[in-house]
């Protein structure tokens, strides 16, 4: 038994270092609380404390499904927009919101900002009026990362600058 352990130790000394797989890196803004992801589909989850007068906190989530998985940028923007009900009860469209693009450390980021009545297709709880969603797709060589921030309008707007900084801090290494 002792000889076996010794030979593993000797092999470990001579084995080349194993390179870590590239992944998404980011800076968590001050005031955001890191949470245990609520599902295995979530890579990371954060709570952003509620703004004055709002009844709930906002939640930011990062999803990653792998290279070539999760759908196109346009399909995700369309799906997210449809989760934000508009006047007359109709589902939202990308045209109801504002789309922008930015670059974060060489990676294209497509961002949707839309308000309305949020229908959380994953978490249930019924429609939530007066909500806002900021959702982004970060394109990396390893596949797209999907970031979604939802919460009461004032709360999401309170955290707008930190959400922008969060997106701009993203790098893939």
What is the Cβ-side half-sphere exposure of residue 81, based on CA atoms within 13 angstroms?
Answer: 17
Query: What does pLDDT average to over the chain?
Result: 89
- Token look-up 């959380």 returns 120
Distance CA 14, CA 11 (A): 5
> Tens digits of per-residue pLDDT, 137-155?
999 999 999 999 999 999 9
Token pair of 55 as six digits: 């009844």
- Token look-up 């799906």 returns 79
The CATH number for 24-172, chosen from 3.40.1000.10, 3.40.960.10, 3.30.230.10, 3.40.309.10, is: 3.40.1000.10
* Mean pLDDT value across residues 168-173: 96
| pTM for this predicted structure | 0.85
Pairing of strands 42-48, 58-64: antiparallel
* Residue 131 · residue 150 · CB < 8 Å: yes
> Tens digits of per-residue pLDDT, 45-70?
999 999 999 999 999 999 999 989 99
In 57-82, which positions are buried (b, 16+ CB within 10 angstroms) versus exposed (e)? Answer: ebbbbbbbeeeeebeebeebbbebbb
- Token look-up 């709570």 returns 47
Percentage with pLDDT > 90 across the chain: 77
Give domain limits for the chain: 24-172
């Amino acid at each position: 038994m002792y000889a076996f352990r010794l030979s593993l130790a000797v092999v470990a000394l001579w084995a080349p270092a194993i390179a870590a797989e590239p992944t998404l890196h980011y800076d968590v803004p001050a005031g955001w609380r890191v949470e245990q992801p609520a599902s295995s589909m979530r890579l990371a989850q954060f709570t952003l404390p509620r703004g004055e007068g709002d009844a709930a906190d906002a939640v930011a989530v990062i999803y990653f499904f792998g290279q070539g998985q999760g759908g196109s940028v346009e399909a995700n923007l369309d799906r997210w927009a449809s989760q934000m009900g508009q006047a007359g009860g109709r589902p939202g469209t990308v045209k109801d919101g504002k789309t922008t693009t930015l670059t974060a450390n060489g990676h294209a980021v497509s961002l949707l900002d839309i308000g309305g009545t949020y229908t959380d297709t994953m978490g249930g709880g019924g429609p939530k009026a007066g909500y806002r969603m900021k959702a982004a797709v970060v394109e990396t060589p390893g596949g797209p990362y999907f970031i979604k921030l939802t919460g009461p309008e004032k709360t999401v707007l309170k955290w707008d600058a930190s959400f922008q900084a969060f997106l701009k801090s993203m790098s893939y290494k």
